[in-house]
Amino acid sequence: MVSPNTYQTSAVAYLDVSGLKEAVRRTAEKPALAGKLEGMLLGLQNRCIELNKGQLRSAQIPNLKARAFSDSIVLTSPAVSDDALRLIAVIVSAYQMELVVTHGFSIRGAITVRPHCDRGDICFGPAFIEAYEAERKLAN
């Protein structure tokens, strides 16, 4: 059933993992590398859940989701309070530190607050498009 209110004002962070695309290309010759990359991305998803549930209990974000696909990570949350935005920034900072120190990758990206739809496997809306475009055009 389609919801009559598809969009909800949400925070969306779109993050590009620099160098991951090239690493993925090398997995054709080095299949073990694919398992390492999968573990890295799953670890980042789990880190998001840990940070949301444990570190900052007073600022927990309901319905915070983290997804990894291709060389990108997307965080979405219908909560757009100052505390929620601060926690998303903390999570992005933690991702950056973990990726650089542990795996040798860096990230760049953007966070927007706009209308967004995030249900099950569906993730789309102006918030996602604007975060994606800002990462492509503005992030250096």
Please name which of 111, 50, 63, 54 lies closest in space to residue 85, comparing C-alpha atoms.
Answer: 111
The span from the CA of 35 to the CA of 68, in Å, is 14
3-class DSSP assignment, residue 43: helix
What is the predicted pLDDT for the residue at 128?
93
What is the predicted pLDDT for the residue at 139?
63
3-class DSSP assignment, residue 95: helix
* pLDDT single digits (tens) 101-138: 999 999 999 999 999 998 888 889 999 999 999 998 88
The span from the CA of 137 to the CA of 110, in Å, is 10
The span from the CA of 95 to the CA of 108, in Å, is 11
- Is the pLDDT confidence value at 53 over 80? no
* pLDDT single digits (tens) 67-84: 888 889 999 988 788 888
Query: Domains along the chain?
Result: 8-137 (3.30.70.1230)
* pLDDT single digits (tens) 84-106: 888 888 889 988 998 999 999 99
pTM for this structure?
A: 0.85
3-class SS shares of the chain: helix, strand, coil, % to 5: 50, 30, 25
